[in-house]
Amino acid sequence: MIYPRTILWCLYDFGNSIVVMVFLLYFSQWLVIDLGVADFWYNSIFVVATLMLLLSAPLTSAVVDKSGAKVPYWIVTTLLQFLFLLLAGILASYLPTTSLIIVLVVSCYALSNYLHQFALVFYNALLIDVSFRGTEGFISGLGQFARWLGTIVGVAVGIPFAHSAFRLLGHSGRSQTFLPAIFASLLITAPSLLLKSPPVRAGGRLHIAVLDEVRSYSVTFRRLWSQPGVARYLVALFLFNDAMLTVQHNMPIYMQQVLHLPDKTKSLILGGMFVFAAVGALISGRVSDRIGHRRSLIGILVSWTVFLPLLSTIKAVPAFVLLMSALGLLLGATWTVTRAVMAYLAPTDQMNHAFSFYTLAERFATVVGPLAWGAIATGLLPLGAARYRAALFCMGIFVLVGLIIAWKIPAQDQMPIEFK
């Protein structure tokens, strides 16, 4: 059964993914290809956002666990995210692209990226409140399905503006995509913010002494990380997400520099991949509930270790499109299952705190992975397009190491009774 609160929860993933996709596809190319900014500096945006998240999310989420008030924090971070996106869109669209304006646009985008990741801490923790026991994989899959539908809409929103020779909104070219995506995303995301807060759990406190929480944080931290499988899983998640997020962030540039594809072709390839990702999310949610979340995760990671190195060797466009479709299935399945695994590993009274580290593990991959990709793409400049192939191949190594570490996490039926 799908509850109204489940629909509202999924609507957030759908709406927010529109603007995330447009900025992923066009902001990267606007900055690196149109303005000539080095790949390293583009990838540094995600490094800065993740470091900010590291300094704020764990303690804040531990405080929220004591009160149970997830939704207010989710709403505030989401609204601030859109505020900085709007500033970035206006600056990029209507002001001359001087060095100062570029720095301001990049700063606003970095802040919006940070706030989006912060909002995901509370959004992901709501999984147990919008589903019931035994359906976490299915509901997580619905959220991911909505997410990938949103990315497809994002591609569709961007195409007519990015490929127009006319100045429809501000400057002509890729920057015209930013404002339409922001407004479309905000319009669709807004109803999801009507989701009511779940009841405060037994023993929860509405008023928290923050200084006391800071003093006792080390105890909370040690308790979470001593739980069966949590530390191992988060380390593995950090490593294999290095590959997945870095590839996703850099794929538009890869297709431009390696395969020399025009923007419209790139958009169509990514749009097709996202269709398969939506299908993968739905299928994997059902399958993982039946065969087990851990077993599903291991199968997915094995597949990644095969496909990434293989993709880096492909030169023919038809073969590349075929493998991108397969990667779409894997993308849809990956974040469906990883979220469900975290939900069964985490103690119920530390769900926000656990998902803060889950989000950090996902996004801290935007430190090491992008730095590795940027270093290879910049350091091997004399190799031309081959440097991007080398970077893509190296991402497969990250997945392999994550797979080795994840192999020994406990299955759900092996968890202590209070976790089941």
For 299, half-sphere exposure in the C-beta direction (CA atoms, 13 angstrom radius) is 12
Report residue 256 as tokens: 């431009």
Q: Looking at residue 219, what is its pLDDT?
A: 67
pLDDT reading at 216 higher than 90: no
| Measured distance CA(363)–CA(309) in Å, rounded | 22
pLDDT tens-place string over residues 66-83:
666 678 888 899 999 999
- Indicate the average pLDDT of the chain: 80
The confidence band for 164, taking pLDDT boundaries of 50, 70 and 90, is: low
Task: Check pLDDT > 50 for residue 203.
Answer: no
pLDDT for the residue numbered 415:
60
User: Position 95: which residue type?
Assistant: L
Q: In this predicted structure, which of 200-214, 361-375, 385-399 has the lowest mean pLDDT?
A: 200-214
pLDDT for 419 equals 46
Please check whether residue 299 is in contact with residue 293, taking contact to mean a CB–CB distance below 8 angstroms. no
User: Is the pLDDT reported for residue 209 higher than 80?
Assistant: no
Cβ distance 276 to 328 under 8 Å? yes
Length of the chain: 420
CATH number for domain 4-193+207-419, candidates 3.40.50.300, 1.20.1110.10, 1.20.1250.20, 1.10.1060.10: 1.20.1250.20
Of 40 and 141, the one with more pLDDT? 141
User: Is the Cβ–Cβ distance between 58 and 360 less than 8 Å?
Assistant: yes
Q: How far apart are CA 282 and CA 276, in angstroms?
A: 10
Residue 338 in contact with residue 238, Cβ under 8 Å? no
